[in-house]
């Protein structure tokens, strides 16, 4: 009988190994995709693309059995060679080739110049050929940073006693109710795609006290803007036994601090490649919704049109104000009007026209919505009634509150937006792996 005993030691090397002390002159084997070939006559340079970076390989006539003219870009290869320190090479080392084995070949030449440092291709073309355009190392670096953000979110929350949950995406009713829901037929029952794990994470906060989820959410909004998606990844948390919604803001600030440190430590290469300076998150200013409107109105001579609404231009100006006055890329805007928040939001007892809630703006764009939730069963029923909403489809949610719930609150972070702001992109599609919008369902 054969047995599988775990990951086998490989006889191939990664780039990091080649750059180690004492590797000069070592003979190694490396696998990768042929990213670029530059023929200089007697010598050719073959750049290999691997998950850990680009490796320059030097081909000299007569040193291998392989005819370099037969090598094509986008082939994948296994090469043998001798490690040579070379300051001018991307990784500080190059490989003097002694052998090349082709593992696979393309059927056609590449449609995009992916080996260029900056891929000056339209967003539309990049998205149409997503799996090709991301072979450009700067394009893919954005998604490596995105990984770091999600990883930071989870690892920080584990350290804070949160439990990860997986809630269903097909449901009988959406969290915020009403419109903007994708509808489907579920074995002859009407169903929707969940626009948020909101109701489920609240139900679970009575079980684990602190829960989080990182998963897809679906919004059938007919927005066609640079910052809206119809499907995105939401980083959600919900926590019990809070003293107020500032506990949630404190937790988010902690997450940002942890994650920026993680990125600085473990994603240094990607940050460098994209020329990103991480934002300072030691302290984040917090300002009331109405106060923020006043500040912006005063400084930028802009009349307040509607005291209960925040226009996108106002968001941008609030961001600008706090950058100019306090040097902060982030600002918490608190106490949003009750009308603008869903039924489960806790109204401010001091002034019920506003809620105990917040948004986090990053460079003038909302990346988080959060706040304290109603935990009292009767208060919840009253709020539903006041809004003219029925309990239909909410029975199980309401039962949870009927049988006791701790004071709690939470938040949802749009992963692609956070990445977009961090990477300094101006369209959220740039930091979405395979975007779904009004006009895009493929790839």
Q: Interface residues for a copy of itself in 176-195 (CB under 8 A)?
A: 182-187, 189, 191, 193
* Interaction residues for a copy of itself, span 349-368 (CB under 8 A): none
DSSP three-state, residue 180: coil
Q: What φ, ψ does residue 132 adopt, rounded to 5°?
A: -95, -50
Q: How many residues does the chain have?
A: 443
- As measured in angstroms, the least distance from the Cβ of 277 to a copy of itself is 21
Which of 63, 84, 138, 151 lies at the binding interface for a copy of itself (CB under 8 A)?
151
Binding a copy of itself by CB under 8 A: which of 68, 276, 278, 286?
A: 286
Please, what is the minimum distance in Å from the beta carbon of residue 111 to a copy of itself? 7
- Per CB under 8 A, does 161 bind a copy of itself? yes
Tell which positions 206-265 bind a copy of itself, by CB under 8 A.
206-210, 215-216, 218, 220, 222, 230-231, 233, 240-241, 246-247, 249-251, 253-254, 257
Round to whole Å and give the CA distance between 335 and 343: 15
For a copy of itself, the binding residue among 92, 113, 168, 352 (CB under 8 A) is 168
Closest approach of a copy of itself to the CB of residue 89, in Å: 20
User: C-alpha 64: how far from its chain's center?
Assistant: 44
Please list every residue from 18 through 57 that binds a copy of itself, using CB under 8 A.
31, 33, 50-52
**CA dist., res. 365 & res. 428, Å (int):** 11
For residue 7, count CB atoms less than 10 angstroms from its CB and return exposed for 0-12, middle for 13-18, buried for 19 or more.
Answer: exposed
Q: Which of 89, 384, 415, 420 binds a copy of itself (CB under 8 A)?
A: 415
What secondary structure does DSSP assign to 358-374, as a single string? EEEEETTEEEEEEEEB-
Residue 75 interacting with a copy of itself (CB under 8 A): yes
Binding mask 106-135 for a copy of itself (x = CB under 8 A): xxxxxx----------------xxxxx-xx
What mask of x and - would describe binding to a copy of itself in positions 394 to 413, judged by CB under 8 A?
Answer: -xxx-xxxxxxxxx------
- β pairing state of 365-372 and 408-414: antiparallel
- Token pair, residue 68, equals 């370099």
Are the C-beta atoms of 178 and 193 separated by less than 8 Å? no
172 lies in the binding site for a copy of itself (CB under 8 A): yes
Q: Which two tokens stand for residue 169?
A: 């995406």
Cβ atoms of residues 192 and 182 within 8 Å: yes
């Amino acid at each position: 009988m054969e047995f599988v005993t775990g990951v086998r030691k490989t006889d191939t090397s990664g780039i990091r190994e080649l750059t180690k002390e004492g590797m000069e002159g070592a003979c190694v084997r490396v696998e990768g995709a042929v990213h670029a070939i530059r023929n200089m006559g007697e010598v050719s340079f073959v750049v290999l693309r691997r998950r850990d970076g680009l490796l320059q390989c030097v081909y000299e006539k007569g040193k291998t059995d392989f005819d370099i003219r037969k090598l094509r870009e986008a082939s994948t290869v296994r090469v043998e060679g001798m490690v040579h320190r070379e300051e001018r090479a991307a990784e500080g080392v190059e490989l003097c080739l002694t052998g090349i084995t082709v593992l696979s070949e393309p059927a056609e030449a590449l449609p995009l110049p992916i080996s260029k440092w900056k891929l000056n291709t339209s967003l539309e073309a990049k998205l149409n050929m997503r799996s090709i355009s991301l072979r450009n190392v700067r394009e893919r670096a954005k998604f490596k940073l995105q990984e770091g953000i999600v990883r930071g979110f989870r690892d920080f929350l584990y350290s804070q006693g949160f439990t990860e949950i997986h809630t269903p995406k097909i449901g009988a009713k959406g969290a915020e109710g009403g419109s903007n829901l994708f509808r489907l037929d579920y074995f002859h029952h009407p169903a929707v795609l969940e626009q948020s794990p909101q109701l489920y994470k609240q139900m679970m906060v009575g079980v684990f006290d602190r829960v989080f989820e990182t998963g897809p959410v679906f919004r059938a909004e007919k927005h066609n803007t640079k910052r809206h998606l119809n499907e995105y990844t939401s980083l959600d948390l919900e926590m019990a036994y809070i003293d107020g919604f500032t506990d949630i803001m404190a937790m988010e600030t902690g997450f940002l601090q942890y994650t920026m440190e993680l990125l600085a430590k473990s994603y240094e290469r990607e940050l460098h490649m994209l020329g990103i300076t991480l934002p300072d998150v030691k302290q984040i200013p917090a300002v009331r919704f109405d106060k923020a409107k006043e500040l912006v109105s005063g400084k930028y001579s802009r009349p307040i049109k509607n005291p209960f609404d925040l226009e996108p231009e106002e968001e941008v100006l609030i961001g600008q104000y706090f950058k100019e006055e306090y040097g902060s890329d982030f600002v918490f805007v608190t106490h949003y009007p009750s009308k603008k928040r869903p039924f489960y939001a806790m109204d401010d007892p001091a002034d019920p026209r506003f809620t105990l809630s917040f948004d986090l703006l990053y460079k003038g764009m909302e990346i988080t919505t959060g706040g304290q939730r109603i935990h009292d069963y009767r208060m919840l029923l009253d709020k539903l009634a006041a809004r003219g909403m029925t309990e239909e489809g909410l029975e199980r949610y309401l039962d949870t509150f009927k049988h006791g719930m701790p004071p709690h609150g939470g938040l949802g972070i749009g992963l692609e937006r956070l990445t977009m702001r961090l990477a300094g992109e101006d369209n959220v599609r740039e930091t979405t792996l395979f975007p779904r919008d009004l006009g895009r369902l493929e790839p």
